[in-house]
Structure 1
Amino acid sequence: MTNTIDEIGDADLILVIGSNTTEQHPLVATRIFEAVDKGARLYVIDPRRIRLTDFAHGYAPIEPGTNLAMFNAMIHVILEEGLQDQKFIDERTTSFEVMKASVADCTPEWAEPITKVPAEVIRDFARTYATSDKAMILYTMGVTQHVTATRSICALANLAMLTGHVGRPSTGINPLRGQNNVQGSGDMATLPDYLPGYQRPEWPTTWERFSKVWGDYSSLRGKVMSEMFDLIDAGTMKAMYIVGENPVLSDPDQNHTIHALKKLPFLVVQDLFLTETAEYADVVLPASSWLEKDGTYTNTERRVQLIRKVIEPVGNSKPDWIILNELMQRMGLDVDYKSTSEIMDEINLLVPTYAGITHERIQEVGIQWPCPDKNHPGTPILHVGQFRRHGGKGLFTINNFDFEGERTSEEFPFIMTTGRVTHQYHTGTMTRKVWTLHREYPHGFVEINEKDAKAMGIKEHQMIRITSARGSITATAVITDRINEKTIFVPFHFAESPVNRLTGQHLDPLIKIPELKVTAVRIEVEK
């Protein structure tokens, strides 16, 4: 997040895109309701009429996979009507004219047949966003799990810079992370092309900094998970070490994932329980839960928070950092970390944005990075005064829309989108073992529009077969008026209805994220 969670409550406009906030980020949702109670306007872009739409002043029931077209059309309207913040543009950005020319033909009338959002609704969204004093954008995987993910985020950056909604309280672009330490794990380089602190391994400054502590190291960039499974299938990758991940359920094209794991010569899985993925492992390392370890999490607003061990590790399980420490020692590396605080000391040396964040300083309240030294209070709002890029100016970009990825056809006439429900979490590794949560959502289901259900003779709770070009699953029907026609929704928590057996390997060309939100399928009553 460029801004903080608390600032949501003081915004004049909150634009929520592809985020079922009340179900997946309920505490953030309370800030949204707080703002609405104070008079803020709430606008929502989503193919499902999620609970937030009951309180929204504007709703765009967008066709899955067409976010970028709507964003560009909103930018077109703002420019056409002269609603941009020209002073901000002139003083703090570059490449404005090039971006402006790129959206010259992106009228709301052009976008309407693509997005299925009426042109006047697009105009209303654009005008309201541009004319609000403090407007915040909140988004999640409904924007990023698409082949146009990178361009969509860049278009949102264009939108924010165009209107001056960045670098001030209650503004900015604010991704709501899907798990408690997604931000922190990215900061610490669970990315194939960075070292901690988003430092490229081939940069001379990175080498100079890290080699003093680590010695010699490889500066080769790694592969993302989808690429890894292709390398396994090709016989190139011989071993894999999976930590806290369950790709058999969470990755696209399940049959391909399982096929690759069966071919893999050596697989190690480190997790709390024997997951669907761990069943293919040669070695399983039992890890400890959050109650059994200490360390830090970095949450969605970049706040580094201390966690404290409550109980000793159960059975033979160990905290992740101890397992990794022992593995490195057995591989002959000269490491011997004694505590998570000692690891944080090393982070302070190597990651400039974390340099001033120590365990001693976050005993009571966490600190938001960047925090360059131990006297720095942290940074609640990013890009105040200047942007964090070379030259200090924000870069407008060209993000052209085209139909990419999977399209519907006569054989597969429905769009399937995926997501989560309130009472289950990710692949259910933990939550499906809790009987009270299981009681609320014991099995998978498929949401289908009531008009589609009537036309196909589908009844409530009837077993439905869903088929894509890659496979087939069954789930019970939930008939509703809260989803677009010719669109269905299936959650991905349930091994008995593994939705990612259906999803494909259409990837964003830059960051390689799979398009889990758009899959062409057909549905029929299970015989």
Structure 2
Amino acid sequence: MTNGIDEFMGCDVIFIIGSNTTENHPVIGAKIRQAIRRGTKLIVADPRKIDLARNSEIFLQIKPGTNVALLNVMMHVMLKENLHNKEFIDSRTENFEKLEEVVRGFTPEKAAEICGVKAEDIEAAARLYAKAEKGSIVYCMGITQHTTGVNNVMNIANLAMLCGQIGRESTGVNPLRGQNNVQGACDMGALPGTYTGYQSVIKQEVADKFKEAWGVEVLSTKSGLTVSEMIHAAECGEIKMLYIMGENPMVSDPDLNHVKHALENTEFLVVQDIFLTETAQLADVVLPAAAFAEKDGTFTNTERRVQRVRKAISAPGEAKADWEIIMELMNKLGYETKYMNPSEIFNEMAALTPSYAGIDYQRLEKTGIQWPCPNKEHPGSPYLHKDSFVRGKGVFMGIEYKESAELPDEKYPLTLTTGRILYHYHTRTMTGRVEGLNKKSPESFVQINPVTAIKLKIRDEDMVKVSSRRGSILVKAKVSDIVEQDVVFIPFHFAAGAANVLTNSALDPNSKTPELKVCAVVVEKLG
């Protein structure tokens, strides 16, 4: 997030797109509701009539995969009605003409047809956001999990810059991370192309710095593979060994039949986790790891806030903290550095990472700190890009609308979109063991619009077969107007009736993120 969570309270307008905030990020959802009660206006754009839609000033129930079209026409309206921030554009951005060239011809009528919403509602949303003194954009995986995910994010940045809604308190572009330490994991270099703090692997001067610090002679300057690319490479026999930590791709990844074949084709599979997950059951070796309350360390949350995690109880059996397992493996492989505790690792990281340089465990004892924090006297950074962007000027990109990789046809006439629900976390590795949560949400289901259900002679609670080009599942139908006609929704949490048996593994060409939010399916009543 460019801005902090508490800053939502100062927003005039919040634009939520591709985020079911109250279910997927309930604390932030509650904060947004508090802001609404204080007068903040809300715009919601989503393929489903999510809970926050009833609190919105304007709700745009767009077709899955049409985010770029919606954003383009909003910017078209702003330019046509002279609502853009010319001063900000002139002083802090470049390449504006490229954006203008693309969106000038993107009329509300054209977008209404693509997105499936009224042109006047899009125009009203554009005016509301553009006229706000302080406007914030909130998005999540409804934006990123597309073959056009990078374009979606770039266009959100275009919208914010066009209105000068960045670099100030209670404005900004605010992606909500999928789990509590996704931000921290990425910050620590758990990406194929970066070291800590997003220092590029391909830059020789970065490699030289880490070589000196670690006392090694060679570090690769070639980016690695993403998760989706690894699975494909394993299936093709190009990868012989996989080490999976705290992840359950046998439920969470697209096209699960393909994933299962890839993991079974891997010569040596190691899984490190707190429970014997569906993925761990396929492993040659399982390394038992400590859960969050059984270890010390830090988490960095979605607003870039680094916070201490303190051990409350001892881990059972042979389970160890992740850092201990990795260190022991590293030592057995010949690199003999030893650490006594996580704070030693943190200090080493901070010494090599400018954005974390001013943070240590002593400072974190008092309060969390938002990076960048370049020195020990720095208080941290509640919001980013105050006077300039990291590269200097922000660059506008002219983003053309592209359709999703797979669209409905005669054989598969419905669009499936997937997501999460309030009562379960990721693949239910933890929440699936909680009796109360299982009573609330015991099994997979498919949400289907009443009109579509009537056409298919399906009633609420009927068992149905949902099929795509990749496989079929059996689930209960939930008839609801939360989805539009010809759109269905399945939560991805459940191993039985797994949504990701159906989903498409087509990737965004830049981020390599799979298109989990759009694929074509057919629904049939059983019996």
3-state SS of 1:229 partner: helix
3-state SS of 2:211 partner: helix
Q: Deviations over 1:490-516 (max 9, x none)?
A: 001111111101011111110010110
| TM-score, structure 2 as length reference | 0.99
CA contact (8 A) 2:207 2:220 kept: no
Residue 361 of structure 1 is matched in structure 2 by 363
| TM-score, structure 1 as length reference | 0.99
CA drift of 1:418 comes to 0.6
Residue 254 of structure 2 is matched in structure 1 by 252
3-state SS of 1:122 partner: helix
Measured in 2, the distance between the counterparts of 1:330 and 1:341 equals 22
Measured in 1, the distance between the counterparts of 2:31 and 2:262 equals 44
Residue 470 of structure 1 is matched in structure 2 by 470
Look up the equivalent residue of 2:95 and give its one-letter code.
S
Measured in 2, the distance between the counterparts of 1:226 and 1:27 equals 30
3-state SS of 2:415 partner: strand
3-state SS of 1:159 partner: helix
Measured in 2, the distance between the counterparts of 1:457 and 1:110 equals 34
Q: Deviations over 1:64-121 (max 9, x none)?
A: 0010110111111111111010000000001111221122211111111111011111
Q: Deviations over 1:184-234 (max 9, x none)?
A: 001111111111111111213312321221223222210011111221122
Alignment map for 1:127-526 (pairs within 5 Å)? 127-214=127-214, 215=216, 216-389=218-391, 392-526=392-526
Look up the equivalent residue of 1:141 and give its one-letter code.
M
3-state SS of 2:137 partner: strand
Q: Deviations over 1:211-260 (max 9, x none)?
A: 22122322221001111122112211100000000001100010011011
Q: Deviations over 1:38-72 (max 9, x none)?
A: 11111100111111011111000000001011011
Residue 6 of structure 2 is matched in structure 1 by 6
Alignment map for 1:77-96 (pairs within 5 Å)? 77-96=77-96
Q: Deviations over 1:430-475 (max 9, x none)?
A: 1001111111111001110011112211111110110000000011
Measured in 1, the distance between the counterparts of 2:492 and 2:255 equals 13
Measured in 2, the distance between the counterparts of 1:14 and 1:235 equals 47
Structure 2: runs of 5 or more not aligned: none
CA contact (8 A) 2:464 2:476 kept: yes
- How many correspondences in the alignment? 525
Look up the equivalent residue of 2:482 and give its one-letter code.
R
- Structure 1 runs, 4 residues or longer, greater than 4 Å off: none
Look up the equivalent residue of 1:195 and give its one-letter code.
Y
Q: Deviations over 1:10-30 (max 9, x none)?
A: 110011111111111111112
Residue 65 of structure 2 is matched in structure 1 by 65
Look up the equivalent residue of 1:396 and give its one-letter code.
F
Q: Deviations over 1:317-355 (max 9, x none)?
A: 000000000000000002101110000111111111000
3-state SS of 1:197 partner: helix
3-state SS of 1:336 partner: coil
Q: Deviations over 1:367-421 (max 9, x none)?
A: 00001111111111100011111xx111111211122311100100100111111
3-state SS of 1:91 partner: helix
Measured in 1, the distance between the counterparts of 2:280 and 2:29 equals 35
Look up the equivalent residue of 1:482 and give its one-letter code.
I
3-state SS of 1:426 partner: coil
CA contact (8 A) 2:449 2:488 kept: yes
Alignment map for 1:91-130 (pairs within 5 Å)? 91-130=91-130
3-state SS of 2:465 partner: strand
3-state SS of 2:196 partner: coil
Q: Deviations over 1:153-184 (max 9, x none)?
A: 10010100000000011100001111000000
| Percent identity between the two aligned chains | 48
Look up the equivalent residue of 2:364 and give its one-letter code.
I
3-state SS of 2:271 partner: strand
3-state SS of 2:197 partner: coil
CA drift of 1:364 comes to 2.2
